[in-house]
Amino acid sequence: MADLFHECGIAAIYHFGAGQSSLLTEPQELAPRERVSRMLPYMLLDIQNRGQLAAGITSYHPGQTELLRTRKDVGTVTEVFRMNHKEDFQSLMADHTSVAAIGHVRYATCGQDDRHYAQPFERSHLEKKKWFSFGFNGQLANYVELRNQIRQTGDFHLARETDTETLMHLLSQEIREQEDNKVDFVKLLGRLAPQLDGAYNIVFLNSLGDMFVSRDPLGFRPLCYAEREGFFAAASESVALSTLGFGRDEIKDLEPGHAVIIQDGEMRVERYAETPRKAHCFFEWIYFANVCSRLDDRSVYLARKTLGEELAAQEKVRPVVDSMDDVIVVPVPDTAKAAAEGMAFDLGVPCLEGLMRHRALGRTFIEGEGREEKARRKYIPLPEVLTGKKIFLVDDTIVRSTTMRVLIEQLKEKGGASEVHVRIACPPIVAPCFYGIDMSTMDELFAPEHLAIGEEMSPEAEDVMAQALGADSLRYLPRPSIANSVKRPAEDLCQACLTGQYPTPAGQKFYGACLQDFAAGANKEKNGPRQRKIEVDGEETPILPARL
């Protein structure tokens, strides 16, 4: 599993209809419409893979003093909502029982372990239309520019280094400029879109009971929704809607540049911005998403299985072992399992779990320091499975290489494997991401150390990289395999980290600065704290905002 992580996941739920819904079954002692918000923590559990550092919800309470009520904190969904403590959980849910709610889970790229960075962000106000809460999935590549514009305009102050607070200010500004009591969300989002560069899916709820969920015009991150009998739900991944009881035909992918709006007891889907092109992040299919999800009408499991089949096809063309005797395929837990199964089936060899993940440790790559030591504790090789075997070790990608080096060493020394042939179900990562994945500088990437910018992968380069990792051989997939596996045209995908071709102006600008920085030999402390500042237009600029 690659040493990288995602930003966050969002969810929303609303019973805007007057009648009962067949999807609402528990708890029976409550009126059907009031049971809606109690489902949100379970939806967040389904997308917990997208963020385990913080979680939160905001619920709507018409007729009460607190029209919006937010609970958020550092921790997993289970920890934040005390789900393992029945009485505590029931008490919390009683406080948030309502007809509508939004929720959020997230990781951090940097910043403090502070609940104030967790989402949703709530902005209180005396005027109802200006009192709102929202959650945000993505990253604004032009965050620094937006932050500076805000600070230089009027007597404004931003308390935290985060693009979420910047987005909250921009939302407030657009709402303030609308004169009617009812907010025109299509107009609001349409005015925001030209200002924002990057990935930004939003769930929004105000104290009038208005809700919208929106997907950015390029569609970087997935977002889906469903509705039945006046019961609406939306989430970053389809699995959260499936477990609510929605059928496959009911779950729809929200198109880029569109928003689902619930206002005055009615739901509508409207376009708020044109889509010049689509830029779906391919990493969502091969690594980030829950394997049970469908993203933009493509099964995550089948996409990963297809990647494994492509690995097998390469092996048949360029075999590295004389026979398949004593050969096994071993996945790096957990996201590489489907690819490993696809490869093993096509090769006609066993796929065995010779490497187990230490479940009690959880995620080990949240902090930037001590990666190698954490990686050694993270996985446990099984000598009973591995001893004397030639292993095809299948992983979804290599980013920083620390984990892979440790795994190869452990498989041979502790597991007793005779050979370890690494197979990566992805092309080499040669460029940073500025749209919400934690790899923002060139120096932290493994591949650019061995490939010149723009150079195609060759068998010779793979041999050199295998030697650097301590592997007997190394193979990556070619770039066309990605579009083939996700069943989308290559031009509809963001593959900037594979090609250096960024779909937005801010991404292109940052990449140019990163190339200069890398060429100058800056930020070369491979195992120390990673630098997140580069020089852009003569100013030292943080690449990523503080995250939690």
What's the token pair of residue 91? Answer: 């008490």
State the Cα–Cα distance between residues 276 and 465, nearest whole angstrom: 38
Q: Contact 282/482 with Cβ under 8 angstroms?
A: yes
CA angle 117/120/126 to nearest 5° reads 105
Q: Parallel, antiparallel, or unpaired: how do β-strands 539-542 and 533-536 relate?
A: antiparallel
What's the token pair of residue 171? Answer: 């939302």
Q: Contact 390/276 with Cβ under 8 angstroms?
A: no
State the Cα–Cα distance between residues 505 and 428, nearest whole angstrom: 23
Q: Parallel, antiparallel, or unpaired: how do β-strands 132-140 and 198-206 relate?
A: antiparallel
In sequence order, the 6+-apart residues with CB closer than 8 A to the CB of 74 are 53, 54, 80, 113, 114, 115, 118, 548
Task: Name the active-site residue from 8, 224, 433, 514.
Answer: 8
Peptide bond into 27 cis (omega under 30): yes
What's the token pair of residue 297? Answer: 């009408």
Torsion of CA 315, 281, 137, 117, to 10 degrees: 60
In sequence order, the 6+-apart residues with CB closer than 8 A to the CB of 148 are none
Question: Minimal CA–CA distance to 93: which of 142, 146, 27, 151?
Answer: 27
CA distances from 392 to 270, 341, 343, 465 (A): 48, 11, 9, 16
3-state secondary structure 152-217: CCCCCCCCCCCHHHHHHHHHHHHHHCCCCCCCCHHHHHHHHHHHCCEEEEEEEEECCCCEEEECCC
The length of the chain is 548
3-state secondary structure 44-109: HHHCHHHCCCEEEEEEECCCCCCCEEEEEEECCHHHHCCCCCHHHHHHHHHHCCCCEEEEEEECCC
User: Is 8 an active-site residue?
Assistant: yes
Question: Minimal CA–CA distance to 203: which of 158, 164, 163, 247?
Answer: 164
Q: Contact 8/51 with Cβ under 8 angstroms?
A: yes
Number of continuous H segments (helices) and E segments (strands) in the chain: 17, 25
State the Cα–Cα distance between residues 54 and 51, nearest whole angstrom: 7
Residue 249: other Cβ atoms inside 10 A = 7
State the Cα–Cα distance between residues 450 and 398, nearest whole angstrom: 13
List residues with catalytic annotation: 8
